[in-house]
Structure 1
Amino acid sequence: MNFKTILSMAAISLSFTMNAYSTYYEYKGEGKIIPNSDKYIGAQNDNWSCGAYSATKMLNIVGHGVSYNTIKNDYAQKVFSAFAGRFSNTVTDIGLTPDKLALTFNSYIAQKVAESIKYGGIKTKGYKAEVRINASINDIENEVRYKNRPVAVLVYAGSQLHWVTVIGWMNSNSSVIYAESDGTINYENKYEFDRKRVNNWNWAAAGILPNTIVKIEEVEFNKLDAFFDHLFLGTENAIYQIPVVGEIYNLHKLGAEKFNQIVNFGPRGANEVLKSIGLPGIVPDLTVPMTLEDVVKLKNQAKKVAEEAARVSQQAAQEAQRVRDQIAEEANRIKNQLNPRNWCCKWRR
């Protein structure tokens, strides 16, 4: 292979920091490595999860300290199981396709945002992963060098497809610096690297188009609609594989449109939130998918509960008024009996 290894797993175990390497090369004007890309997150230990490794590397770079095993087992595996294709050799040759890699990244981001909302915080900014096709090597360079954002790139490793994560650039010899899923960091001339990319239509049936990359963008979740559209657009069935996200999505379907309507709903309880959006007296199971029919049924049920509550309240008010009137009448009767003038008149007769 025509590449060089900058950082080995042994070097990582000795707490070598890539940030120091980055500072040295920036000082000399020879290149740049994105901050936080040196953190050791584990190493691939199977034949399909190089995409999970790339998702983990990108998450760590944007500030989420999560391990490869966590992303693989708790997120990628769920996405992979739900969306695994039925194409020949899909599992061994592809692993996570570009859309699944992006969804793995977004699922983790969504869970963290959802946990913040559930337990009292309003998270309005974050990152999302998105797929881009026909990306040139210059597009990759622009993301890494000038935006400080990593890029997951699909390359050929022999006859198999393989994800690597571009995390830096060297000016001195126009080399790409990228993280391998075995825990090493390598560099390679950008034109040689570009030739290894999947640039044909052989995998189109599996959703892999020529020169596809997965990149990340900073986004703002100023409404719940934006939150779900950014991270789960077109993949609603994935929402319910991420527990807290599913709960918020159901509350959203039931009428909660703003973050502040559902913030802190965990400690307060779903019942309080449902009251705030006009659905009192009902506590549905928010952890399971809720169809439009379910929503209509719940709203009709809530309407009946509200109507019954209003009827009972009206009856109670009428009964309270009747008791008040009766007490007042009895009080007047007793008052009249105790009035001395009434005694006097009766005595004189």
Structure 2
Amino acid sequence: MISFKNIRFSYKTFKKQVGIHGTIKDLFKREHITHTALDNISFEAEKGEIIALLGPNGAGKTTFIKLLVGLIEPSDGVINVIGFNPYKKSNKYLSQIGLVMGQKSQLTWDLPAIDTLYLLKSIYKIENNDFNKRLNYLVNILNLTEKINTPVRKLSLGERMKFELIASVIHYPKLLILDEPTIGLDIESQRAIHKFLIHINKSENTTILITSHYMSDIEALAKRIIILIKGNIKYDGDIKQLLNIHKQENTLVVKTKSKLPSEIHGYRIKKGSATNEWEIILPVKDDVQYKLISYLTNNFYIESFNIKETPFEDIIFNIFTDNNKVNSN
């Protein structure tokens, strides 16, 4: 479905010298700086996969997406997507991909969404019966039937993003690329979009590539995760495996009527967020936790125990800030 082989992309910028004298010098001789956005990356994706592309700012995610849709050409390497070279911008290729960018809209602000959809119908040369059937199907799933003739500027952010999704899949794309699709959305809208994307993926076997700073998107949708750091793929594999490898600690939440000391058997103890609640940090691979629990139950009046796992977002943040923690598969 998607194949990147030894892809490298670099670009040049000019270094601007300070002051008027520097500007004059630049007229005669300018210093070039070469930046490498992607450095010899390779990966393959099968049809029907949902893949999350993650990385800190400047990691190369936007460059990755631009290469996929054919906006830029790689400096080195070979890209093959659905049997096409994206940079050639073949109509056959472009008609088989969909793109949603959370910060850019393809809808016309002052017109109803239906007008944009009719325009896409002409662009993709969709027959009337097929278009009407597809449109009714999609607006019903996303609960937008009553909003189809409402000007885009009068729609809520969540409703606009749902119409963006409809516009991106109206032509049955084989590959759907999502760049921050839930940015700024409330939880209800986020979950509705998650449900819709999972449905499209399962019912139409659509391959989905998603980038997002909301880890809830990644947890809800993806099984495979690619982590880009400084233009290199540092991890490509199962999301659960990544969490198991890099989960450092859990928190044992103890509710008790007794006051606990600041330390027991080497475990740090701190006051919890609720009344009569205490938090004990436990290493994930600690094989003597039962001794601590036994000690607590024998020496204190314990009302309840609860394990609070390290949030996925915290694990990913730690990986981004210390990229020595991840290695490519």
TM-score bracket, shorter-length normalisation: under 0.3
User: TM-score normalized by structure 2?
Assistant: 0.23
**Structure index of larger Rg:** 1
The TM-score, its normalising length taken from structure 1, stands at 0.23
Which structure features the higher share of strand residues? Answer: 2
